[in-house]
Amino acid sequence: MMSAPSKAVVLIGLRGAGKTSLGRRLAETLGLRFEDLDDLALADCAEASIAEVFSSRGESAWRTAEAHAFSSALSRGVEILALGGGAPMTDAIRDRLQAGREAGTLTVIWLDAPDAILAERIGAHDDARPALLSDEDGQEATPEQETSALRERRAPVFAALADTLIDTTAAPSSVLEDLVKAAGS
């Protein structure tokens, strides 16, 4: 087992970047507890999936649930936390991430991959997540369209928040090694 990071580690990135799977592997490697913000927020909702929350109550209700779950996780002393792709776009979460970085209590790691790879990963998983964008005709955006559009909006925020950027297209063992190094900084 490696030495534990001195700060909580928060993983950010677009859908399909590997935040959950790599977060679990990082936690296992370091002997720490991993939590996924989507799971925490969903536990506070009456619906069975994020898509149902979006459908029944709207995206704003989901973002409120995420912000509450994020605050609760930080209060409980979370060790490794994977955020949903849109969570850092919520003012309350973005502000807490920045404050935690400035106070030296959080390490924020941006996991990323090229759009084509993210779209492929998204397309390979039917995980009850809502489509976030529609095209001009009101049809669900393809994973490629969604990834490209979301990157344009979210990348500047991710870049401003992240201590480190890790490309998740390398071999999983190499990515995990980079992640362990970044978590310890």
DSSP string, 72-134: HHHHTT-SEEEPPTTGGGSHHHHHHHHHHHHHTSEEEEEEE--HHHHHHHHHH---SPPP--B
Against a cut of 0.85, is the pTM above it?
yes
Token pair belonging to 36: 């996924």
Q: Confidence class of residue 1 from pLDDT cuts 50, 70 and 90? A: very low
> Helix, strand or coil for residue 81?
strand
The answer to whether residue 2 sits within a structural domain is no
Read off the pLDDT of residues 122-131 as tens digits, 9 standing for 90 and up: 876 655 555 5
Domain range holding 19?
8-183
Identify the CATH number of the domain in which residue 110 sits: 3.40.50.300
The answer to whether residue 3 sits within a structural domain is no
Under 8 Å between Cβ of 166 and 110: yes
